[in-house]
Structure 1
Amino acid sequence: MKKETLEKRDKIANAIMYYVYTHIDTHIDLEELSYDLDISKFHMHRVFKEAFGKNIYESIKSIRLQKAANLLLTNRYSTISNIANLCGYSSHSSFIKAFTKRFDMSPKQWRKGGYKSYSNEIMKQSKKAMNSKADFSRLVPTIVKMPEIKSYYIRNKGYNINIRETWQKLQTLILNNDIKEYKQIALLHDNPVITPLNECQYIACIQTDEKEETLSQRVPKFKISSGVYAKFDVQGHQGDILKFMNWVYHEWLINSEYETTTKPSYIIYHKNNFLSDDNEFNMSFYVSINY
């Protein structure tokens, strides 16, 4: 397939995903979206599945249920029906059925502590996370308003060791083009605390104002959403990151009285554990919040 065709397909797939995230709590009109993109619905679905490994409807359901899983914990005074409506479900029963199928427990069971056992099973998929002794209980975030970030990226299917190879490819691009000023950013399309690690969409990105024409010919571009975020500055070893994210979503967020949104969390690396010889990281973690 020609490089121009691949770039065009990546642009379409990213436009669809961006639309889904920004309209997740409303009616998503794929007919209208295909019209705006000037492609057929059939072509739109095919391009999306090739890029993300699942169809658009599966992605919509996954994002809505991830949001519901968080809202059930952070919106303590909302009824399950309220949360179903907030996540785009018009039927209480269809929401319960979809949630139970996804998490192997009802929303009520999840709310009463089931989320802990579910997340612990996911944590067990990473030996390094299970061996982590890090303690984040005294960590306090700063609340910041972040601008939109335009980045170049390579997508990695799965939160796994393959991420190192993905970062090495981006690093090769940086060195080959003698880029001096840049940021390394990881965009987490899926919440690895409640999504099996082999199913997570991990996006390795670089943000730079240099060599735009050269970079855009080699790798696709993506916009990271602007908004209000809780920013956590964290240092540690590779296995500490999953444990940290588990703490953010299932301890800090629950006790903070904030709620998260459907905007993906992201990491700005000051030291990238996937590229460092000692597997250590120094990062700022951003989680989107409302109050």
Structure 2
Amino acid sequence: MNRRTTLNSYRERIQRVVDYLWENPERECTAMELADIAHFSHWHFHRIYHELAGETVYQTVRRVRLHRAATRLLRTDDSMEQIAASAHYGSVEAFTRAFGVAYGVTPARFRAERRRASRPNQPLPQKKEYPMDYKVEVIDLPRLTLGTIAHQGDYNGIGQVFDKLFVVAQTHQLITPDTRAFGIFYDDPYTVEESNLRSEAGITVTEAQARDAGLTVREIGGGPHAVLTHVGSYAELDKPYQWLYGEWLPTSGHEAADSAPFEEYPNDPRETPASELITRVYLPLQG
């Protein structure tokens, strides 16, 4: 399968989701349901959708519901309370604010002026252009056992969890020259509220070592993985993720496996300038 065919396949699958959202604006769909419609792993669906659709699923749903609300404003005599509720807003005030942002006028004024509620463009945007470019290597990664500590919140705050992890590791004499450090990231930061983002900081250990140290046992790897190497500040890691999901994956001929992406940190941020930090981003692939 060539790059163009693969990209078209990814776009068609995302388009299925967009069509479904337009046809079912009242439904509260789970990420799992939408991923199934597109035949993508739920671990990666939101990132792929964001890059190819140019907006998050939540933004598409909000746009579709506001369009339906605008149509009802023009075609029915339903009350503002009814229309706000049908658009899934808890109050007329919240609906009015959201409608004003999208349409530039209040719902009442929109209705009074009988503006035409033209349907926003449904087709996906043209292929996004990325100013950056990276090299990706597909490798067969052996299965690795980690001892981890969970983190919830801003992904940039996982450094504090790593500090805690290394104190535990040093106390239990788990650090060796072969120790590797990984971060596992379960949620798409464009879709999930920052306070609810889930991640884990981990190091390679045996299962027994992890349990003795009071760490969570987690396994990663085992099969083909795309590996992207980023050099620079951890704060800039959103760029390689955008490129990996929006440019490389849809044209690679590969499908993402049903497990979360993770990162490896070969050098020590306490001793390395931010511009020289190395991060390997691993994307699990179907075998």
* TM-score interval, smaller chain: 0.5 to 0.7
- For 2:254 and 2:26, locate their aligned partners in 1 and report how far apart those are by CA, in whole Å: 23
Match of 1:98 among 29, 34, 40: 29
TM superposition shift of 1:168: 0.5
Q: Which aligned pairs between 1:31-180 and structure 2 lie closer than 5 A? A: 75-78=10-13, 80=16, 97-98=28-29, 115-118=53-56, 136-137=132-133, 139-178=134-173, 179-180=175-176
Q: Do 1:228 and 1:288's aligned partners in 2 also have CA atoms closer than 8 Å?
A: yes
Confirm or deny that 1:245 pairs with 2:180: no
Match of 1:267 among 260, 263, 268: 263
User: 1:168/1:98 Cα in 2 relative to 1: closer, same or farther (>3 Å)?
Assistant: same
| Structure showing greater Rg | 2
- For 1:72 and 1:111, locate their aligned partners in 2 and report how far apart those are by CA, in whole Å: 13
Unaligned runs of 5+ in 2: 1-5, 39-47, 60-129
Confirm or deny that 1:289 pairs with 2:285: yes
Q: Which amino acid aligns with 1:169?
A: K
- For 2:8 and 2:50, locate their aligned partners in 1 and report how far apart those are by CA, in whole Å: 9
User: 1:214/1:185 Cα in 2 relative to 1: closer, same or farther (>3 Å)?
Assistant: closer
Identity of aligned residues (%): 14
- For 2:190 and 2:8, locate their aligned partners in 1 and report how far apart those are by CA, in whole Å: 14
TM superposition shift of 1:93: 5.2
- For 1:278 and 1:288, locate their aligned partners in 2 and report how far apart those are by CA, in whole Å: 29
User: 1:208/1:232 Cα in 2 relative to 1: closer, same or farther (>3 Å)?
Assistant: same
Structure 1 stretches of 4+ with a deviation exceeding 6 A read: 110-114
User: 1:270/1:113 Cα in 2 relative to 1: closer, same or farther (>3 Å)?
Assistant: closer
Query: Does the residue aligned with 1:267 lie in a helix, a strand or coil?
Result: strand
Q: Which aligned pairs between 1:148-227 and structure 2 lie closer than 5 A? A: 148-178=143-173, 179-180=175-176, 181-209=178-206, 212-213=208-209, 216-227=212-223
What's the CA shift string for 1:17-75, capped at 9, x where partnerless? xxxxxxxxxxxxxxxxxxxxxxxxxxxxxxxxxxxxxxxxxxxxxxxxxxxxxx99863
User: 1:183/1:114 Cα in 2 relative to 1: closer, same or farther (>3 Å)?
Assistant: closer
TM superposition shift of 1:198: 2.8
Q: Aligned pair count? A: 192
Q: Do 2:169 and 2:213's aligned partners in 1 also have CA atoms closer than 8 Å?
A: no
Query: Does the residue aligned with 1:136 lie in a helix, a strand or coil?
Result: coil
Q: Which amino acid aligns with 1:259?
A: E
User: 1:193/1:229 Cα in 2 relative to 1: closer, same or farther (>3 Å)?
Assistant: farther
Tell me which moved more, 243-252 or 185-194: 185-194
Query: Does the residue aligned with 1:233 lie in a helix, a strand or coil?
Result: strand
Q: Do 1:74 and 1:257's aligned partners in 2 also have CA atoms closer than 8 Å?
A: no
Q: Which amino acid aligns with 1:116?
A: G
Q: Do 1:265 and 1:285's aligned partners in 2 also have CA atoms closer than 8 Å?
A: yes
- For 2:233 and 2:50, locate their aligned partners in 1 and report how far apart those are by CA, in whole Å: 32
- For 1:95 and 1:252, locate their aligned partners in 2 and report how far apart those are by CA, in whole Å: 34
Q: Which amino acid aligns with 2:199?
A: Y
Q: Which amino acid aligns with 2:154?
A: Y
When the two chains are superposed, the root-mean-square deviation of aligned CA atoms in Å is 4.2
- With structure 1 as the length reference, what TM-score do the two structures score? 0.53
1:236 maps to 232
Unaligned runs of 5+ in 1: 1-70, 85-91, 122-133
